[in-house]
């Protein structure tokens, strides 16, 4: 299978969906003139025109407000946030309007909005451009939240998100944009709400998503050298969480570790730990481990930023203490 980058995979998904459905359009800052700061929209305005690939003013409130209005009028907008951190500007439009309208109108209307949000640590972007904020949206009923970890899922989840009649937050880690991987050509859909067991194991379950999935996989390789076979699960979707896949794995391995790049306190890992504690406590032979960033803003200093990040060795050493 051909290999392309994460960024190219999302571009391909946009191209295919805009070709398939003329109601799909995209808008955001610097996406038409510049092609997006990660090249994820390059070439789309030349193919589909500037009516369907729109540069906007620097106002996230207007971008999401217009997207919601367009969706209610029958369009299928994709709104780019430039950086996930900027979503704080338009939170009222997200959680009071976009997430609630379909419910408040008794399902008489749909809100097929996709919000693309590049997130995560990269190149000393510091406290206001490096955050992983996915847990905010896990707490808002009415939203779906996806977090691909590889190019194939990036394409498949974006296509599924665009076709969904509910609002979807699509987090795309900035480090992953340049990562290459095998991606099917043509129609390729990844179901929203279904996790993927990327490695089977019998001794411990490691659950992660997005960029941290790669750290978890490296931790599993370290553990393998000590005879510990880890089952690695890529959530892919964090709202709704595929609890069945997690519980089935924990029933087999008897141990659970959860990791994410976001701050540990109040993170997705806490919700997964609570699910297993409530519905699978009898399976466990050891306490649940959570790995996440320290409770501090992301530092600018390169050495401090490096110390802020979770390493594969951190996960592996923690898991070894479970036995």
129 annotated active-site: yes
H or E segment and range at residue 310? none
Nearest to 25 by CA among 3, 51, 62, 61: 51
| CA angle, 271 then 146 then 68, to 5° | 110
Nearest to 48 by CA among 9, 11, 22: 22
Nearest to 122 by CA among 55, 210, 11: 210
> How would you class 303 by CB atoms within 10 Å of its CB: exposed for 0-12, middle for 13-18, buried for 19 or more?
exposed
CA distance 254 to 276: 11
Task: Provide the 10 A C-beta neighbour count for residue 107.
Answer: 9
CA distance 168 to 39: 21
List residues bridging with 256 in a β-sheet.
Answer: 205
CA distance 63 to 78: 10
Please, what is the angle between helix 268-279 and helix 243-253, to 10°?
A: 60
SS3 117: strand
CA distance 222 to 317: 9
Catalytic residue (choose from 82, 129, 188, 214):
129
Residues that are catalytic: 129
């Amino acid at each position: 299978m051909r290999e392309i980058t994460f960024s190219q995979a999302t571009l391909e998904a946009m191209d295919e969906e805009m070709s398939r459905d003329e109601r799909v359009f995209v808008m955001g800052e610097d996406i038409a003139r510049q092609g997006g700061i990660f090249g994820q929209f390059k070439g789309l305005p030349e193919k589909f025109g500037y009516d369907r690939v729109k540069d906007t003013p620097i106002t996230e409130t207007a971008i999401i407000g217009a997207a919601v209005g367009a969706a209610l009028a029958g369009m299928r907008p994709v709104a780019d946030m430039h950086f996930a951190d900027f979503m704080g500007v338009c939170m009222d439009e997200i959680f009071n309007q976009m997430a609630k309208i379909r419910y408040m109108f008794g399902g008489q209307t749909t809100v097929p909005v996709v919000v693309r949000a590049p997130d995560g640590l990269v190149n000393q972007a510091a406290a206001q451009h490096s955050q992983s904020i996915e847990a905010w949206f896990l707490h808002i009923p009415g939203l779906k939240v996806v977090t691909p970890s590889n190019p194939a899922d990036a394409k498949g989840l974006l296509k599924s998100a665009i076709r969904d009649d509910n609002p979807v937050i699509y987090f795309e880690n900035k480090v992953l944009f340049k990562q290459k991987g095998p991606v099917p050509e043509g129609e390729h859909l990844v179901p929203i709400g279904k996790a993927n067991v990327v490695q089977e194991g019998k001794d411990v379950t490691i659950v992660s998503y997005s960029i941290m999935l790669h750290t978890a996989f490296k931790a599993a390789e370290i553990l393998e050298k000590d005879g510990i076979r880890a089952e690695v699960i890529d959530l892919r979707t964090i709202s709704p969480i595929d609890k069945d896949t997690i519980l089935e794995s924990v029933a087999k391995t008897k141990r659970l570790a959860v990791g994410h790049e976001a701050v540990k306190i109040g993170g997705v890992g806490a919700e997964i730990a609570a699910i297993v504690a409530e519905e699978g406590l009898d399976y466990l032979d050891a306490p649940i481990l959570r790995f996440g960033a320290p409770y501090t803003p992301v530092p600018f200093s390169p050495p401090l930023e490096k110390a802020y990040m979770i390493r594969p060795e951190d996960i592996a050493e923690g898991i070894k203490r479970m036995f």
